Structure 1
Amino acid sequence: MSSTDGKRSVEILAELDRLRDRTRTRTHNGAWLPALAVAVLLLASTALYRTPFAQSRTTVVHHPYWAGLPDEQRHPVLSYVFWFVGVPLLVAATGTWYGWRARRLGLRVSWPLFAGTGLGVLLLLAVVAAVPRTEIQPGTLVDQQPGWWHGMLTPLLSIAVAVLALAWAERSPALAAAGAWIALLTAWLCGSPRLGELAPWATDILGWQSGSLGGQLALRPGHYLVLMALPLVVFAAVRAARSRRRPDA
């Protein structure tokens, strides 16, 4: 093979790599809309709590955590309807979006996995509905609280899994990190006897000098939901900006 042929082969391979990268970018640039939709759903759920951002002197928490987090909600039925209506709307909007992109660009994303996982929230809530409801009064002993696993009976955990499924479909490490972040916050908040409770070792790391009693963050459900949604909002903003710079993407 002559040097000219070798150079030409290198150029062809480089061009194929550019085309492959461009196709990958165009395929996955649409992830911003479903990510933003999930963030909006999380933020909208703040309306399910009686005092989402303000401190409350007395709090009665119903278990299972229909609203998502272990705090006083406006009404269990309202929370139930919110997720049963909100999740199908989220799935429908996602399917419409990806269908439109497939017709426009001729590129498909494995979004049905995200849709199936999202609709799995409904199945989870149906299981939760069969669990007897209890009321948790302030000052209740820890051993009278729902067990750690029962504390995970919350739609937020399924939302986290749905985001992880979207990350897999979109081949996005950033979305995977966002889903893991939601899952970790949910596991911590719903697996603790009190909202925002910190273990003694955590307070020692923070240097609060609280001894063996641990501590508690003075944050409300709305603050935690904003923290959950923030990575998704940032991801959506970055992807949307990149899409605008490349109109064909």
Structure 2
Amino acid sequence: MDRGAAGEAAETLAALEQLRRRTHQRTHGGAWLPALGVAVLLLASMALYRYPLSQTNSIDADYPFWAGLPDEQVSPVASYVFWFVGTPLLFAGMALWYAWRARRYGVRVAWPLVAATGLGVLVLLAVFAAVPTGPVPVGLTLPNGPHWGGLLTPLLPLAAAVVVLGRAERSRGLVAAGGWIALLTAWLCTTFPLGYLPGWFTVMTGGTEFGGQLSLRPGHYLVLMALPLLVVAAVNLAVARRAARD
């Protein structure tokens, strides 16, 4: 093969790679809005707590944790309505967004699986929470958990939906963000009080064997959960805008 033919082949491969990249960016350039929507829902749930950002001397956490985290709620009923209305509305917004993108760009994303995952886990949560139980487990009233009953929280359906959304959008950032929400939720909701650190962890970090507690409030943890989603949304939006200009 002469140099001319080799150069043409290289140019063809480069053009194909550029076309592939543009197609991927156009197909998955809309992930920023669902990521932003989940982050907004998380941050809006601060309003469900009596003391979302301020310190307080005592905490009375109603179980199950309908607000999301084991802390004092303004109203358990309001928390229940917030998540069981807000989560379906979030998925309805996703459906409208992806339907609009399908009409405009002719690309489709498997968003129905995202909605089915989030709503399915939410329904299971409601079913399990409705099963009659005895008194609130000791692991939820004293810092000697974990007690897995605390995982009856509406934050986990949201985390599962974000992971599935990341798979549908081929976004490692979204998958990591969903895993981060699930990890924080599992830690915070299986021990009490909020932010309790077990003895084995404090020993590893140079503390005492009696454990400890972070002085963060529910609002702070919700910001930590939403932060990766906001970063993914900002990066995805920037990439989508750059692709639209090319």
Task: Tell me the TM-score normalised to structure 2 length.
Answer: 0.90
1:221 is aligned, of 210, 215, 218, to 218
Quick one: structure 1 residues 201 and 129, their matched pair in 2 at CA, closer, same or farther if it must change by over 3 Å?
closer
1:48 aligned partner, one-letter code: L
Unaligned runs of 5+ in 1: none
Cα drift, residue 36 of structure 1: 0.3
Cα drift, residue 135 of structure 1: 5.5
Match of 2:186 in 1: 187
Match of 1:30 in 2: 30
Quick one: structure 1 residues 35 and 149, their matched pair in 2 at CA, closer, same or farther if it must change by over 3 Å?
same
| 1:60–1:135 contact (8 Å) kept in structure 2 | no
How is 1:1-249 mapped onto 2 (pairs within 5 angstroms)? 4-132=4-132, 140-141=141-142, 148-207=147-206, 209=207, 211-247=208-244
- Partners of 2:16 and 2:173 in 1: CA distance: 26
Cα drift, residue 26 of structure 1: 1.3
| 2:22–2:243 contact (8 Å) kept in structure 1 | no
Cα drift, residue 246 of structure 1: 3.2
- Partners of 2:69 and 2:10 in 1: CA distance: 56
1:184 aligned partner, one-letter code: L
Count of matched residue positions in the alignment of Structure 1 and Structure 2: 245
1:46 aligned partner, one-letter code: M
The secondary structure found in structure 2 opposite 1:30 is coil
The secondary structure found in structure 2 opposite 1:247 is helix
Quick one: structure 1 residues 248 and 99, their matched pair in 2 at CA, closer, same or farther if it must change by over 3 Å?
farther
The secondary structure found in structure 1 opposite 2:244 is coil
Quick one: structure 1 residues 7 and 53, their matched pair in 2 at CA, closer, same or farther if it must change by over 3 Å?
same
Which deviates the most, 219-228 or 128-137?
Answer: 128-137
| 2:142–2:193 contact (8 Å) kept in structure 1 | no
Cα drift, residue 217 of structure 1: 0.4
2:193 aligned partner, one-letter code: R
What's the RMSD between the two structures over aligned residues?
2.4
Cα offsets for 1:88-136 (capped at 9, x unmatched)? 1100111111111111111111111111112224313321441347568
Which deviates the most, 92-101 or 33-42?
Answer: 92-101
Which deviates the most, 124-133 or 175-184?
Answer: 124-133
